[in-house]
Homo-oligomer: A and B are copies of this chain.
Amino acid sequence: MTVAELAKLIDAQVVGDGAAEISSVNTLEDAQPGQISFLANAKYVKQLETTKATAVIVSAKGDNVANTTLLKTADPYYAFMQVAVMLHGHRKHPFGGIHPQAHVDPTASIGENTIIYPGAFVGPRAKVGRDCIVYPNATIYDDCVLGDRVIIHAGSAIGVDGYGYATYKGVHHKIPQTGNVVIEDDVEIGANCSIERAAMGATTIGKGTKIDQLCVIGHGSKIGPYCLIVAQTGIAGSVTLGHHVVLAGQSGVAGHLNIGNQVTAAAKSGIINDVEDGAMLMGIPAMPLKHGRRVYILFTQLPDLAERIKALEEQVRDLTGSDGDDGAEVV
């Protein structure tokens, strides 16, 4: 495609050569002539000067200068996604339907155009919608329900038993996990995640939510729509998340909490209380972002604070003469 054709697709203004041909996407650093790249993170702005990309998608707001053709558009990252889909598309699968090396229980139902890779397991009475992809060695336990266009990556376990035991006289007795997992449309779940089935009712993952690699969702939790749950995050049981919640990597949410809509938590956050709509959090324990930033700056300055306390103690000792001498000694 030409730069001009792509520009039309993404509603961009071309500054440079609209007739140049583009065949694929690449990073600013690695792009070669014939490739298109984008700038969405200020950290890489200097690469605009040296990139060999034939064209670069940039923000219409900025006044970026480059030795290459620019496509100025409102949302460069979204525009780049559109271009990447146009030029590359999504993965082409080497087969259709249920691969013979997969195992789908005869009582399970699999929707049209759904791909089940080798080694994947779909248990009794499970329902998988249409246009789904279940990658190799993913396991969907009995009775779980997946909507349409759901993607489950390699090795993830959907509907594994919740971690529920009643301890009696020192012995842990397994509580039957009678519920299931319900995953709504357009959810994507990364590799080696574990989504626990509910002890009762359903663990639910809302429409359009994207879960990264190696996350755990506890039994009975209700994850709202359009959430982003980043790698290695763990959510305990019976937690409710609103819509558009973002939990950055290695975060944790304690059990039985209500997390409101559009809440954002920084990486490694430890959330131990209910959170209201729109809150931005960070830290262990999770604090409002503005406060948390001050706390963590002071935390890294603790040696300085301790020195100041020590200096004050010496000055006050001088003032009070409490140790009976002139304060020359250092404690």
* A90-B176, A91-B142, A94-B124 as given contacts; A103 in contact with B101, CB under 8 Å: yes
- 21 A-B contact pairs sorted by A residue (CB < 8 Å): A26-B200, A85-B176, A91-B161, A94-B107, A101-B101, A117-B121, A135-B157, A137-B138, A160-B190, A163-B210, A163-B213, A172-B228, A191-B194, A192-B192, A196-B213, A232-B252, A234-B250, A252-B267, A284-B284, A295-B303, A316-B316
Apart from A136-B139, A163-B231, A308-B309, 20 more pairs, CB < 8 Å: A26-B201, A41-B256, A85-B176, A91-B142, A94-B107, A101-B101, A117-B121, A119-B137, A153-B194, A157-B192, A165-B228, A172-B210, A192-B214, A232-B234, A250-B270, A267-B270, A267-B272, A298-B305, A298-B306, A308-B313
A24 at the interface (CB under 8 A from B): yes
Q: Tell me the bound Cα distance from A201 to B78 in angstroms.
A: 19
B160 touches A157 (CB 8 A): no
A328 at the interface (CB under 8 A from B): no
- The number of times this chain is found in the oligomer is 3
A-B pairs with lowest CB-CB distance, top 6 = A157-B191, A139-B154, A194-B213, A121-B136, A81-B166, A103-B118
